[in-house]
Structures are given as C-alpha cells and as structure tokens.
Structure 1
Amino acid sequence: MSNTGRKKPRLVAPKREPKKPAPKRKTRAAKPKRRKATRKRNPIAAFFIGIFKWILRLIWWVTWRVTAVCLLVLGLWVGYTYTTLPSVEAFLDGRARGSVTLLDRDGEVFAWRGDQFGGVVTAESVSKHLKNAVVATEDKRFYRHFGLSPRGIASAVKINLSEGRGPLSGHGGSTITQQTAKLLCLGVKYDPSQWESEKDYVADCRRGSLQRKAKEAIFAMAMEVKYTKDQILSIYLNRAYMGGGAYGAEAAAQRYFSKPAAALNAQEAAMLAGLLTAPSRFAPTTNLERSQARAATVLRLMQEQGYLSGAEMKAAQADPATLSQAAEAQAGGYFADWVMDSGPEFFTRDTTEDVIIKTTLDQRIQRAAEEALAYTFENKVRDGSKAEAAIVVMSADGAVRAMVGGRNSKVTGAFNRATMARRQTGSAFKPFVYATALELGYTSDSIIVDEPYCQNIPGSGQWCPENYTRKYYGPVTLTEALKKSLNIPAVKISESVGRDLVRRVASEFGIESDLADGPALALGASESTLLEMAGAYAGILNGGSSVTPYGLVELRLLGDEAPLMGTGGGIGERVIQQDAARELIYMMHEVVNGEGGTGGRANLPDRQAAGKTGTTQAARDAWFLGFTADYVAGVWMGYDDNTPLKGVTGGGLPAEVWRETMIRVHAGLPATPLPMSRRSGGISEQSQEQVPQMRIDPENAIEGILRDLINSGEITPGNATGGIDR
C-alpha cells in the first residue's frame, strides 16, 4: 500500500504526568485504650436487682394489657348500657304517684299533695337564670366533662377524709349527669313486688356503695353518649325533687311562686337551685329565711362564674324571693290533711293520676281562726305553756270552712286535734239531753228541782253528782239549768227520758263515738272529737236535722270536666222537730247572753249567738261550742298528755277564742237573728196562750210517751225510768 505522506503515529502511550501524592493528614497518635476498672458486683445484690427489674417489666407487661382489657370491657359495658336507654322523653316524668291539687270554695288553689308535676320543661324552655343557677350550684364543669369529674371526685374524697368520714361518705363530687343517673335509679323501675314500699325503692336507689358508684359512673357515661348535655339537664330539671311535694322545676315554680319556670327571675331561680342540696331543709315553706340565705349563696356562685354581674347579684340579694299567697298557706295544713284522709285512697293518698279536688275551705275564715288562736295564746296564756287548742268552723249544713288542729297551724301531716283527739266532752254534751226532753214534750220553762241526788251504780256503789259551784238552787227551769250548766238537773232529765233515748238522739246528731252507759252520760263522760261535736251543734242550728261534716265538694281527674265523685256529706235525716230545735237554740242563747250564763265571755257585740261550755273532770279538757245564724264554731283546749288545765274552764279561754274567731269570721257580714223561739207551759209564746207550768217529777215524767216508746221497742224498760234509786 502506498503511503499517503502522513506520518504514522508512534505505537506508544503518551507520556502522562505522574500524580502527586495527597498530603498526609496529621493525626494524633492513637492513645492506648485504658481498661475500665470494673468493680466486681455482689452476686446476691445482682440477683435481687435482676429480680426487681424483671418484676417491673412483668408489671408493665401485665398493666398495659389489663388496662387494655378493662378499657375494652368498659367500652362494651357503656355500649350495652347505651343500647338500653330509651328516648329522652321517656325519662321526663318519673313519678310513681300522681298529684292532688286542692281548691278552696272559690276555686283557688290552696294546697298540693302527692307527687306534684307541673309539666315537662326543657333546658331551653326554662328561665336562663334557673339553668345557670343549677349549673353554677351543682356542676360548674357540666358542659366540659364526659359524665364524670375526676377533679370533683378527688376534692370530695379529700373533704370527706378531712372531716373524719369515709371517702365515699358525705360529699360525693357527683356531676349533674351522675345525679340524673341516680334520679333514674340507673334505669330500674319501681316494682311493688320487689320492694315493700316506694320508700325502700328510693333508699335502694340512693345507696352509696362502691359497686353502686361504679354502676352509676357507667350509666352516666352511657347517657353522655346517648343524649346531649341539654337533654341530660332537661331530665334533671324534670326529675329533681324540690320540696313541698314538687317534682321538677315547673311544679316547684308553681308551688312556691305561682308562676311558670320560664318566668323565674334570678332570685327565684337561685332559691329553687338552692333546694337541690336539701329539698326538705331549704324549702321556703319550711323556713323562708333559711331558704333566702341559701339563695344568696347561689347568687354569689352565679356571679363568680360569670352568669351575673356584680350589680345584678347585689340587686337580687337585696330583693330576695318570697312565697306566693298560695304557698304561704303551707300546703293547706290540717284541713288539707283531713280532706285527703276522708277521700278514697286510690284518688288521694295512693293515686297514680293527677287529681283535682274542690273543697269547702274558705281561706278568709281559715285565716280568721288561725289569727284568733294566735292572738289569745299570745296575750292571755303564760309564756312557755304547752297547752294545745283546736278550732273548727262550719256552715249549718256541715260544710267545714276552717280547721285548726293545733297551735302550730303551719304544718303538714301533724296530729290533728280537731279530728283525731277523742276527749271527754263535759257539759258540752248537755244540749243533747235537753234536745231529747224538748222533743218529748218538755219546754224551756219546765221546772226541775236542783237538790242533792244519789244513785247506786251496780259494781261501783253510790254515785252522787255535784254542781260545779257545789251549791243547790232548788226548783229551776230547764233554761236556767242549762244556762248555769247545773249537773243534777241534767242527770235527772236524762234518767227521766231514758239514757237509751239520749244516746240515740246524740248518735243521730252525728256523735259516732261510743257513748257511756251509766248516768254520767248526761255530764259528758263519753269521748268525742271536736269535728263530731261541731257537726252535732250544726244539726241544732239547721232546725234539728243530722249533719255529716264534709270538706270534699267534687273530685275529678286533671283534664276532665266531669267529676268522678261529689259531696261526701251534708244534711241528713231529721232528729228532732223544728220547734224543739228552735227552743233549744233559745236556751243556748241564754247561756251566752243571759245573766249568769256560763258562756258570757263568748257574747258577740253585734249579733245573736248561742252555745254551751264544757269542762271535764279535773279540767283536763275545756270546750266551747256555739253558733250564730251563719256559722257554727267549736273550740277545744287541753294538754296532749291529759295534764289538768290550771284555772281554765270552757267558759274561760275557749269561750274567748271562740269570740275572737267569730268576730273575725263575721267581719263585714250583716247581722242575722238566730232561728229561735220560746214556749211557755208547752205552748209557743207566739200563740199568746197561757197554761200552768208543769213541775216535773224526774221519776215519772211524760209517762205515756215513754210507755209508747217501750211498746215500740225504741227503748228498754230498764232505762225508761233511768234506774233511779228511790
């Protein structure tokens, strides 16, 4: 091959620059490693330390697994409880009993009984002040917790331990949710077959054991999941007991302030919220001043938590809530208790319905009786006296207008001396002896001899009654004998007409108590109640017909117009003729208005009055019963333990209480004359005929009439002559 003239490259690699060696780093000379000085560990200590570490690891291993299992079980338990909870509406009215609302004769509410429930309210519908007061007082973290408040529980345990109690005794640190769970009894309904009474059921729901607290916590957390905060608060506001028989905010607002819960102002709301801690203790009907003091504390809490400004708090504290007029009636006192006892149990004490009862009560007359009793004891009875008294006022048909069963009239469920106390009537019984005689032909001017008199009582020996004055007055008219309350003439008349007949007349007039068999019957040895005696006197006023005292006019269910039952009493059968009744009224008028009458202190300044005193043996009981043309009233005084009264007779303090009562009762009423008349020698004065007066022989008076009664079987021959010892 030819060469093109180019120079062939050399077959050797091009010369390369040699690489400069990298500069050596200066390094410190490695120091020889020192061996750590190891201290030989004590094998025994090492063993125990190892064991301790192993135990800690085991505890941690077990703890987090147990915690996980507990949380899982807790979640499942809460979840199961959640599934058992009904809709919120099912929890709003949880009363086991219904309510009874009592109306006076004018249709005004004056008392409540049973479990009062004013209707469903919600946290949104009530006054904002009530909502805020409840949260501020009961659970200020209500809207921030999950149903339990660990801080609150810890604080409560600390307080309980510091006060020497158990950790769960006393302060509970419960949230509103927990309190609601307790009110719901953890969802357990009342079953009469499981508990002896509703009281036992409630006590079981309120138990504070550790197991119960755990269940309560589960139920509370389930509620927090199921319901909103306001729904839980709504249940609480409807279920909580607020004293005075009121369950729920609406019932309490109506009970104490006669207004709906939506219209409560700050001080009224604070008073209701203050009840939640201790409803019976702080109820304003129990002690208004204490309730107002508690409300002032609640107002301060509301201000501290921002619900009220300082000025609003001071204004509310300066003008505390007061009771409505109906609330001041103290739930109707003795009268309401009597009406509740006299009605059918399934509509009163044991009702499951809401019942409305219209009654005969006249609140004006009730206040008059209470004021008269208070005035007399304040001004005429020594301080510290334990003597008691009772008053009944009624119309002539037996409609009870007022009832005071004791000196403390502002009570509920107390011993009612007007209806429950059976006491000897003394001379207050004598009008029935004279009623029998007048019915059989005696007149107010008939003569009876007041003289020493004795009888032999089989098994007891000789019995010789005496007059209160220890004097004898010789021949006296029946009017004079009744006016001066002479004992011997009354016994002679009773023996003359026959005790059986006297007992029959008294019984038909309404005295249902067992009447004495012996001659002391005429002197009031038998026992009776003030209500019975007042009813019997009403029979005299109305012209001689029997009377059944009554307080219930009609009973109906809430929402119904037609009553389920009507009046439970009134005028019954005739006992004595009207002429006899009118003459007896005249004789009783002389007791009050006649010269020397034992009832002179009962004389009224502007109208006619009639009545009779009564004082029992050793002055253990003192009575005055009487009437005007408009009203009958009875007064009893004595000691509950039968201690004799000192210096008190029926014509003394009882007559004065009666007078004070009747003056107030008749204030503003026109004076109406009594329906009375007087016969002379058996002929009415109206006929202007005169006949000779009849001197009564107590052993054979009106012999023909008695013979007819014996033949008809009305009385027994043994009592036709009264068994007089000749």
Structure 2
Amino acid sequence: MSDSGKGRGRLVADRRYSKSRAPAKAGKKPVRRKTASKKTVRKRTSTRRRNPIVAFVIGIFAWIWRLFWRLTFRIGIVVVLLLALSVGYFYTKLPDIDALLDGRARGSVTLMDRNGDVFAWRGDQFGGVVTADSVSPHLKNAVVATEDKRFYWHPGIDPRGIAGAVRINLSEGRGPLSGHGGSTLSQQTAKLLCLGVEYDSTQWKNEAEYVQDCRRGSLTRKLKEAIYALAMEVKFTKDEILSIYLNRAYLGGGAYGAEAASQRYFGKPASALNASEAAMIAGLLTAPTTLSPTNNLERSQNRAGVVLGLMQEQGYLTPEEADRARANPAVLSEAAEAKAGGYFADWVMDSGPEFFTRKTSEDVIIRTTLDQRLQKAAEDAMVAIFSEKVREGSKAQAAIVVMSSDGAVRAMVGGRKIRVTGAFNRATQALRQVGSAFKPFIYATALELGYSPYDTVVDEPLTLDIPGSGKWSPQNYTKTFKGRVTLIEALKNSLNIPAVKISESVGRDLVIRVAEDFGFGNNIANTPAMALGSSESTLLEMTGAYAGILNGGSSVTPYGLVELRLQGETETLMDSGGGIGERVIREDAAKQLIFMMEKVVSEGSGRRARLEGRQAAGKTGTTQAARDAWFVGFTADYVAGVWMGYDDNTPLTGVTGGGLPAEIWRETMERVHAGLPARPLPMIIPEPPRAAPAPQPAPQPQQQQRRPTVLQQLLQDLLGGN
C-alpha cells in the first residue's frame, strides 16, 4: 500500500532516545548509569505526598510502640526470671513425696464391737498410703475425668481451663475469679499442702482457722498456688502428684484419702473399687460433706451418675460399661449403712482419755462392748413404737440402754433420731427425775435389814411435818388407799404411801447409801419426797443400778470401752474401767427383791412389759405431772432401761411408765432375746407366812429367843407389824 499524499515525510517512529541515551556506536561498550531503586523512589514519593500532621502522629505512635516493645521484652525477661526463682524456691522447700502423703493434724479413732467388727469412726480417718498405681484404675480415671481432664498434658497450670472458668463465672453473673476457679489437680494439691505451711498452734487459734487460711481464694493466693504447682511439676511426676492428692483429699465422714473413704463407705480397699463405687468417691471431691453417702445416699448416687458420664465422654468407659455401672449404683457397706452405735460411739469417745480420743494425734483402735445385733434391736423397737403408738408430729423423745449384768453396755439409743453423730444423748446426758423407779432401792434397804417380802405396811392417809417446808401429804397415783398390804403388793402396785413409810422407818440415810452404792447418781435429796423419786439421774445410771440387783447385789459401773491400743500395735494401752464392784446388799436380799420386781411385771403396774415365755422383772416410774416416764427391768440375760419425755419438760399426755415406756422395753427385749433360750430369773421365792402355830412349851433355859433389831422393832411399831 502506498501513500498518495505528497510533501509528507516517511512513516518512521519518533526518536526514542535523547542524544545522551542514544545507542552506542558499534564497537563501543554501553556505559551503564546508576538509577534509583523502586523502594527509594516509592519512599520519596510517599514522603512528598504525606500530610505533615499525619506523619507526626504516626511517628509518635511508632515511637510509643518501639518503647512499649522494648519495655515488654525487658519486663518479660524479669517476670520469667522471677517466676523461675519462685519455682526454684518452692522446689527446694518441697520434701520427699513420702512426707506429703499423710497431712492430718490429728489422728483417728476406729471403734470395734464386741466381735471385733468395725462399726464407727471418729477423728481424721486415714486408711493408709495409696498410690495412683495401687488404687483401682476406675478411681484414678474418675478423679482425672472429674477434676482435671487435661491433667497429663498441662505443665501444672491450664490457661485454657482458666479462660473457660472465667467465661462461666461471667456468664453466671459472678466475678471472673468467683465460683469456678479453673484450678488443675496440681493446683488443688498445692492447696491441700497449704503451700508447704505446717500447722502451728501458736500461730492459729485452732485447726479450723488454719484450714480456712489455707483455703483462701484471693488472687495473690491463687498466684502462689500456681507457682507451687509448677514447682511440684518439676520435682514430681504426674502420678506422684496424683498420689498426694488421693491421700490428702477429704472425702466426707471424717475420711481423709481414698483408702479411708473406701473402707468407710464400702468396707473394701481402694484397689478393689468398681466403676460405680469409684465414681461415687470421685464425686465427693466437689462437696464431701453435702454429698457424703452416709448423709444422703441418693444424692451421692446421682452425683456418681454425672461422673460416670464424664468417664464415658473421655473414653475411660465404654457406653456398655457406663450403662452397667449406672444400673448398679454403689451401695454402702453394712456398717456404714447402719451407722451403728452413733450415740454409743459418742459416749465411748467422751468417756475415754481426751489425748487418745477427742484430741488424739495418733491412730487409735478401741474395742468396745457394743453388740450390733442388739443395737439394731433397740433402734427398731424405738421406730416401731413411735410409728405405731405416738401421734404424728409429736416432739416427745425417748432413750434406750441395754447392758449385761456386769455393766457392759450392749446397745444405746439416745433419741428418736437414731442415725446421728454428735447429737444430744438423752441416755447419758439428760438428768431427769426418776419417780417410782427409785422405789426398789427402798425395798432393797428393808430386805437387807432382814425383812420379808411378806411383811406388811398400812396404806393410809399420811401427813408429815417437814421442818422448813410445813406439812406434806403424799398421795397414791389412784388417789385411793389399799389398807394393809404386803411389801410385794406395795411395790408391784407402786403405792406411794407405803414407800414413804418404809423409807422413813429404815432411815433415809441408809436408803441414800444403798442407792448411791448401786450407782444411782448423786446429790440425792434427803427429804421424805426422796422415796417418790424426786431426785435426778440418767438412764445409763439407772440401768446400771438395776444391773447390780440382777447380779446378786453388787455395784456396777457401766462401761463401753474394753481395750485401747495404737493402730498397728498389739500392746494394750488402756483396759476397761467398769464392771462389777463392791457388794451393796446380801445376795439373798437381792434375790428376794428380784422376786418382788418380777411381780411388778407379771401382776402389777408393769404388765405391758411382759415377755412371752420368759421371766422378766422391773419397775415403772412416772414423775409429777408426767414429765418423765420410765421403765427399767431385766431378764436373766440382759438389763434394759427406757426413758420417755420432752426435752423442755412439757408434761406427757396419757403416758405413764407402765404405758409406752413399758411397750418400748418389751419391743426391745423381744428383739434382743430372739433366738436365745429362756432362762429363769435368779430369784428366791419366799415362803408365805403360815398360820399361827399351836402354843409350845417354854423354851429351855439354854435356848434364847431371837429378838428383832431396833430398826425392825421401829418398823413394826410404825407400820402396825404383822
């Protein structure tokens, strides 16, 4: 193609290079000039274009950032050094692991019954050292699953767990460190160790204050716990830290450590726990007292179900194993379920030396007189009568004591709430007026002076002038008079006036002496009203006094402690402090009194206490306005006492000693004697008086006619004789 335009030049490109940049001529090497880099050009362009004010502000922030970074780096180095020094300090203070396993400030007391079976625990129970390897794998897994699922992965503190705990606390309207703490097992162990601070009685008022100080939740305290946990992580292995935790954790019921809890609740070692039992123990770590199975088994089982779910989620149990454990929840051992002898155990602890019981620093074993079968019999009798015979909502109380004739206490119920610990014990602590239950001691005194149960006394109106008090006219319960009655009739019908007459005739001083020698309390009021039981005693003392009558007239000191020794040793440190003591009345006098008291049960005021096919003897007692009702009696095998009343001395309604107390006594003794052969009472049945014999020749000079003693003659003169 051609261009038809004329006068136009050739179609060529403009010159691309200036003269200075023209291509080098052939044969000459091109000279390369320096050019500015793109970065430099961009910087110059940017600087030229940036607003001076913006540049200033950015410069300030850049300077601040550089300063902050330099300071943070230096502070970080300082913090790391301080943390390392702190961890190193605690590391040097940590003792060997063996010294950290048992951290109790006081010892424990294990109580065994008459057969050598454990029935109660007191103090800080420690069953022995366990390790993470020696306990049941289920328990180890349950604790980790419940308390710290990342235990084997973190270095002692868990930032992820802390963040989660803060989030939960804030979502529930609490402070970031209130409630869930995000503490690892290592931190919890540090808290249990109280950061290595030992209890010092000069620094804290008591152990409770020391524990409270160790459990403080301040930010400073948590920081120290974290550092202590890091130190433990450096010194010990994970399983060693877990072992410390398993030995020191409180698990309710006075049990410290896994072994004590396992023995306490299930009667087996911690190595033998199944999944449901392990889950129950691990569940106690959250709230050991509230969730304790001896306080509320159902609540504890529900918590164990939650733990089993966590174990399944984290792969420690298969779904089938978890379902099987839920279907067979853990149940308490027989001893733990029965809580046998709560009142009895408290009494033994109170009666023993303080340095071996309430404040022991050693682990003590006490063998006692308790018979768990008899204990259950007494508890069941109490429940049966109150559920069947007492109106619902009544606040009336009762107490039961069962003992052998030598004073060995076999069962004790100190109130209607039978499964308690540390409660007010109405069998040993309540001083109550005894009413007519005192009368056997009056007749014991008369029999000791040589009188027969068939001697007579006149039941008639009586008025005595008491110095300083004026005239006193006692009344019988029925407000009627029987006329001339034998001592047997006077006792079996619980007549008041004959009891007063006999007491006054034989001498109140002698009656007081006999009663106190038998073990009846002290400070017996030396007034005519003494004969009607105006003095006070405890049920335990009364039952012990009646035991003296059964054993033939010797005094008895009730006792529950048989021997005391330190755990792991065979040497006995303390033996029984009770049993049969001095003789109070002659054996034949005691046996005649037993005969009279048998008539009380078989024919008199205590008929509701009769036992089918078995002889029993006893005495009713009802105080003024029926504020107290008693029945104390015995068979050839056991002595039992029952008291009933209100704690605030409110009068009982329609209750006398021959009523509900006699029925509780019968219910108790029928259960106590189940399976035992019937034995007769050790009594003497006196011969009834014969008709007057025919006149006899005068006695020979060498024979002397027996004359009555002064007391006998006084008795005959006052009572009309026979």
Q: Any idea what SS the aligned residue of 1:177 has? A: helix
Are 2:639 and 1:642 aligned?
no
CA deviations 1:310-362 (Å, max 9, x no partner) are 11100000001111112223263111111111111111112122211111111
The match for 2:83 is 74
Verify the 8 A CA contact 1:331 1:412 in the aligned structure 2.
no
User: 5+ residue gaps in structure 2?
Assistant: 1-24, 33-40, 695-706
Aligned match of 2:710 in 699, 704, 713?
704
**Matched residue of 1:225: which SS?**
helix
- 8 Å contact from structure 1 (residues 148, 174) kept in 2: yes
1:459 is displaced (CA, Å) by: 3.4
Q: 1:522 — aligned with what?
A: 531
CA distance in structure 2 between the aligned counterparts of 1:37 and 1:563, rounded to whole angstroms: 98
CA 1:369–1:55: 2 relative to 1, 3 Å: same
Tell me which residue corresponds to 1:11. none
| Residues 459 and 192 of structure 1, relative CA distance in 2, 3 Å threshold | same
Matching residue of 1:330: 339
Residues 478-499 of structure 1 deviation map (CA, whole Å, 9 limit, x = unaligned): 1111111111111111111122
Which residue of structure 2 lines up, in the alignment, with residue 605 of structure 1?
612
Deviations 1:666-722 (A, max 9, x none): 1111111111123358xxx8xx89789xxxxxxxx97624899xxxxxxxxxx9x99
CA contact (8 A) 1:113 1:245 kept: yes
Counterpart CA distance in 1 for 2:430 and 2:110 is 27
The one of 563, 571, 593 equivalent to 2:572 is 563
Q: Where does 1:397-476 land on structure 2 (aligned, <5 Å)?
A: 397-476=406-485
Q: 1:72 to 1:584 in 2, by over 3 A?
A: same
Q: Report the equivalent of 2:291.
A: 282
Q: 1:76 to 1:149 in 2, by over 3 A?
A: same
**Matched residue SS, 1:142:** coil
2:391 is equivalent to residue 385 of structure 1: no
Contact 1:436 1:497 in 2 (8 A): yes
- For the residue of structure 1 that corresponds to 2:323, the secondary structure is helix
- Any stretches of 5+ residues in structure 1 without a counterpart? 1-17, 26-31, 693-700, 709-718
Quick check: 1:221 aligned with 2:230?
yes
1:631 Cα deviation (Å)? Answer: 0.3
The answer (yes or no) to whether the contact 1:242–1:248 under 8 Å persists in 2 is: yes
Residue type at the aligned position of 1:91: L
- 2:709 and 2:532 map into 1 onto residues whose CA distance is 24
Deviation at 1:54, TM superposition (A): 4.1
Identical counterparts, % of pairs: 71
What is the Cα deviation at residue 398 of structure 1? 0.4
1:498 and 1:97 map into 2 onto residues whose CA distance is: 53
Shift of 1:574: 0.5
Work out the CA distance in 2 between the residues paired with 1:436 and 1:48.
113
Query: 2:518 aligns to what?
Result: 509
Deviations 1:449-490 (A, max 9, x none): 111112233333322211111111111111111111111111
**One-letter code aligned to 2:474:** P
* Selected match of 1:152 from 135, 158, 161: 161
Q: Secondary structure of 1:180's match?
A: helix
For residues 46 and 24 of structure 1, what CA distance do their matches in structure 2 show?
Answer: 40
Provide Cα deviations, 1:93-120, integer angstroms capped at 9, x if missing partner.
1122222111111111111112211111
Taking the aligned partners of 1:127 and 1:104, their CA distance within structure 2 comes to 29
Aligned to 2:18: none
Partner AA of 1:704 in structure 2: V
Equivalent pair of 1:444/1:680 in contact (CA under 8 Å):
no
Deviation, 1:513, is: 3.2
1:47 Cα deviation after fit: 6.6
Amino acid at match of 1:513: N
1-structure distance, mates of 2:687, 2:299: 65
Equivalent-residue separation in structure 2 for 1:218 and 1:691 (angstroms)? 104
Q: 1:706 to 1:95 in 2, by over 3 A?
A: farther
- 1:657 lines up with 2:676 in the alignment: no
Residue 354 of structure 2 corresponds to 345
Equivalent pair of 1:133/1:270 in contact (CA under 8 Å): yes
CA distance in 2, matches of 1:568, 1:211: 53
**1:547 matched to which residue of 2?**
556
Aligned to 1:697: none
Question: Is the Cα contact below 8 Å between 1:392 and 1:402 reproduced in 2?
Answer: yes
Please give the alpha-carbon distance, in whole angstroms, between the structure 2 residues aligned to 1:616 and 1:324: 43
- Rounded Cα–Cα distance in structure 1 between residues aligned with 2:58 and 2:621: 98
Partner of 1:9: none
CA deviation after TM superposition for structure 1 residue 523, in Å: 0.9
Q: Which residue of 2 aligns with 1:10?
A: none
Alignment partner of 1:315: what SS? helix
**Is the alpha carbon distance of 1:690 and 1:349 closer, same or farther for their aligned partners in structure 2, counting shifts above 3 Å?**
farther
Cα 1:463–1:231, aligned 2, differ >3 Å: closer, same or farther? same
The residue aligned with 1:198 is: 207
* 8 Å Cα contact 1:680-1:690 kept in structure 2: no
For 2:219, the aligned partner's letter is L
In structure 1, the partner of 2:17 is: none
Paired residues of 1:104 and 1:361 also in contact (CA < 8 A): yes
Offset of 1:378 from its aligned partner? Answer: 1.1
What is the CA distance between 1:23 and its match in structure 2?
A: 9.9
For residues 635-685 of structure 1, what are the alpha-carbon distances to aligned partners after superposition, in whole Å with 9 as ceiling and x for unaligned? 11111111111111111111001001111111111111111123358xxx8
Among candidates 124, 130, 147, match of residue 133 of structure 2 = 124
Give the aligned partner of residue 163 of structure 1: 172
What code does the residue aligned with 1:379 have?
E
Of residues 622, 636, 649 in structure 2, which corresponds to 1:629?
636
TM-score, scaled to structure 1: 0.88
| Structure 1 residues 35 and 616: alpha-carbon distance in aligned structure 2, compared to 1, 3 A threshold | closer
CA contact (8 A) 2:340 2:376 kept: no
Q: Distance in 1 between matches of 2:171 and 2:94?
A: 38
Count of aligned residue pairs for this structure pair: 672
Provide the residue aligned with 2:602 in structure 1.
Answer: 593
Describe the superposition over 1:562-608 as per-residue Cα deviations: whole angstroms up to 9, x where unpaired: 311211100000111111111111111111101xx110100001110
Distance in 1 of aligned mates of 2:196 and 2:555: 54
Q: 1:102 aligns to what SS in structure 2?
A: strand
The answer on 1:184 being equivalent to 2:193 is yes
Paired AA for residue 460 in structure 1 = S
CA contact (8 A) 2:349 2:358 kept: yes
Aligned to 1:137: 146
1:357 aligned onto 2:366 = yes
Q: 1:511·1:536 contact (CA, 8 Å) conserved in 2?
A: yes
Moved more, 302-311 or 349-358: 349-358
Equivalent residue in structure 1 for 2:623, among 601, 606, 616? 616
Separation in 1 of the partners of 2:539 and 2:551? Answer: 18
- Alpha-carbon displacement from aligned partner over 1:277-309 (angstroms, at most 9, x marks no partner): 111111111111111111111101100000001
Q: CA deviation at 1:49?
A: 6.3
Tell me if the contact between 1:355 and 1:556 (Cα under 8 Å) persists in the aligned partners: yes
| Alignment correspondent of 1:576 | 585
Preserved CA contact (<8 Å) 2:110 2:118: yes
The answer (yes or no) to whether the contact 2:250–2:288 under 8 Å persists in 1 is yes
Deviation of 1:204 after TM superposition, in Å, equals 1.2
Does the CA-based 8 Å contact 2:400-2:643 persist in structure 1?
A: yes
User: 3-state SS of the aligned residue for 2:574?
Assistant: coil
So what's the TM-score if we normalise by structure 2? Answer: 0.89
Retained in 1: the 8 A contact 2:340–2:375? no
Could you tell me which of 263, 285, 293 is aligned with 2:272? 263
